[in-house]
Structure 1
């Protein structure tokens, strides 16, 4: 498949659809140098983006959290996403909306004089972790930790916060793993590089308290699904030594959807009935 810079199709850029190869920015774009960028990852199923408006609202919130007012409403962003999908004749696709400080009068840490730009692109994408939905993903344990919310706007889906995620995922892939689990700055279990994490013990579900990392929309959806089924869900701080006692594990995220985990470092997990059930139920719901 061609690189992401060399494809046919349309990308919505600053209010209009442009040819894919023409969707470019200047090398002195502020976001390229100072990470003044926020984004959303979304999936379109059967012509409808799952929780699309919630994603648009979160994009605006992320912008405000990094002191970057995005010059569009959530409804206007929804329209842009729909236009991009229709222009490419896609009913099932991954959608990427990204807002960033462009090139302008400022080229230093400050960027208040530079325009805020918005781009909506997409592509057709299968399972994020390949066949892991059947066999369970294999995760490394990252040496990098999610930082304190006193040092970053942890509720923002901001590009700069993913630097250590990229490094962690590269290290994991070098070891033959699909991803890496990260601890937080206090040493508690946090999340994977781009997905939230859940564990099962004695029929109850335990998931890290989202107090220093993104409380994913898929995470929220899955917690509600579990509670609707009468499953007890504990949102709490999880110590590393507890990993040995958990029986099942799965990841949630827009890209990951609901993916069972078979191994984290030296800890093994069963791809059990609850993990399979919630994964299938999620698949059914997003396509209904």
Structure 2
């Protein structure tokens, strides 16, 4: 596969379509130096982006939390996505919308005078964890912890918050794992590097309270699906020692969708009936 910078197609940048290879930014772009960037990852199924407007609304909210007003409305962002999908002849694709502080008169920590820019891209992307949907992903336990909300805007989908995710996923892959699971700053189970996590015990579902992690849109969707089925969902703090008692586990995210987990560190889980049911039900829902 060619690099992401060397492909045919079109990318929407700052209100206009440009050739894929010409979608460039200056080396003194503020986001490159100070992580002033927010983004959304979305999936398009059969020509329709799942929860598209919610993603666009969250992008604008993330910008607000980063003191970075994005100069586009939800409707304009929605139109840009559709244009990119059409111009690249894509009906099933991953969509990435990113907004960042560009190059301008400021080149220090302060960047209030620099323009906020935005781009929309889309490409074909298969299962995020490869064949894990059949046998369950294998997760390492990260040495890093998700920080306190007093130190970072945990509700923002901001690029800088993924620094420890990249480091942890690299370490996991070096051990033959697909991903890594974090504990938070208090020692509670938190999430994977780019997905929320769920556990099953005695027919009930347990998932970390999103008080120090991103409350993912897929997470919210799956909780709603579980409740519609009459399944009890406990959103709560989960202690590390509880991992041994859980029977099943899965991850959720726009990229991950609903992916079973077979192992976290020394703990093993079955790819059980409820996990399979939720994965299949989600696949059906996003294509309705």
TM-score between both structures, scaled by the size of structure 1: 1.00
2: distance between equivalents of 1:42 and 1:90? 13
Could you tell me which residue of structure 1 aligns to residue 191 of structure 2? 191
Could you tell me which residue of structure 2 aligns to residue 30 of structure 1? 30
Q: CA deviation at 1:122?
A: 1.1
| Residues matched between the structures, number | 288
Could you tell me which residue of structure 2 aligns to residue 171 of structure 1? 171
Q: Structure 1, unaligned stretches of length 5 or more?
A: none
Q: Structure 2, unaligned stretches of length 5 or more?
A: none
2: distance between equivalents of 1:154 and 1:262? 28
Could you tell me which residue of structure 2 aligns to residue 238 of structure 1? 238
1: distance between equivalents of 2:123 and 2:210? 29
Structure 1 stretches (4+) deviating beyond 4 angstroms? Answer: none
User: 1:273 and 2:267 equivalent?
Assistant: no
Could you tell me which residue of structure 2 aligns to residue 210 of structure 1? 210
2: distance between equivalents of 1:30 and 1:122? 24
TM-score between both structures, scaled by the size of structure 2: 1.00
2: distance between equivalents of 1:23 and 1:170? 27
Within a 5 Å distance, the mapping from 1:276-287 to structure 2 comes to 276-287=276-287
Deviations along 1:77-102, one digit per CA (max 9) or x if unpaired, are 00000000000000000000000000
2: distance between equivalents of 1:213 and 1:241? 20
Could you tell me which residue of structure 1 aligns to residue 47 of structure 2? 47
Could you tell me which residue of structure 2 aligns to residue 259 of structure 1? 259
1: distance between equivalents of 2:75 and 2:275? 35
1: distance between equivalents of 2:179 and 2:12? 31
2: distance between equivalents of 1:181 and 1:31? 27
